[in-house]
Chain A
Amino acid sequence: AQSVTQLGSHVSVSEGALVLLRCNYSSSVPPYLFWYVQYPNQGLQLLLKYTSAATLVKGINGFEAEFKKSETSFHLTKPSAHMSDAAEYFCAVTVRSGTYKYIFGTGTRLKVLA
């Protein structure tokens, strides 16, 4: 069965510093992978998704993620953190066969320090 693990429920970075949020997946078949962001009192918004077209995926707000099959990872990065990036980030996986069902990680809350 597929699953995702997000390492670190809370991450703090200084404004302008690199953002790295970790996600590892488990899937016996090629996965689709997603990153979503949730701002306070809002629903989830898609940041980016991996569908096998390219291993480096660029998303909105300057975020990108790299699919590494050998490491079963799909870490989210942003070169320079902005105060507005403070939010909770969720990694999710679906598989390419059978009925689709999103499996979400437990989330990582990002705090940006001035």
Chain B
Amino acid sequence: KAGVTQTPRYLIKTRGQQVTLSCSPISGHRSVSWYQQTPGQGLQFLFEYFSETQRNKGNFPGRFSGRQFSNSRSEMNVSTLELGDSALYLCASSLDGRSSGNTIYFGEGSWLTVV
């Protein structure tokens, strides 16, 4: 069974540009969540989608957005990139996310460097 797949794995962008990251969840998983990981802040929750609806959101500015498609694949977008957006962006999926005890499974992440 294929795991969570994230693309691209590595990318470099310039300040002010925008970026779109993609995530394909494990087959059958309908909940997708996104996290930002930085050395200073650790893992920070961005948002969670279920059945194409954003169900939960972390404390990030509106420059960070996401969406989920009918096949459960998800994208996140960061507009007007800042140097501080340089991070590892992790996507995780779970079956339905209705239960807090659901295990979430992570992809390998997308490394974003903003220069």
B99 interface residue per 8 A CB criterion: yes
CA distance in complex: A51, B4 (Å): 24
Query: What chain A residues lie within 8 Å of B102 (beta carbons)?
Result: 100
Q: Are A103 and B45 in contact (CB under 8 A)?
A: yes
Q: Are B100 and A100 in contact (CB under 8 A)?
A: yes
Chain A minimum-CB-distance residue to B103: A46
Q: Which range holds the interface residue count of chain B?
A: 20 to 34
Q: Are A101 and B90 in contact (CB under 8 A)?
A: no
B109 interface residue per 8 A CB criterion: yes
Q: Are B100 and A95 in contact (CB under 8 A)?
A: yes
B104 interface residue per 8 A CB criterion: yes
Minimum distance in angstroms from A24 CB to a CB of chain B: 16
Q: Told that A45-B106, A101-B48 touch, could you supply 10 new A-B pairs with CB distance under 8 A?
A: A41-B108, A43-B106, A90-B42, A90-B43, A95-B100, A96-B100, A98-B100, A100-B97, A102-B33, A107-B42
A residues at B contact (CB < 8 Å): 32, 34, 36, 41-46, 49, 51, 90, 94-107
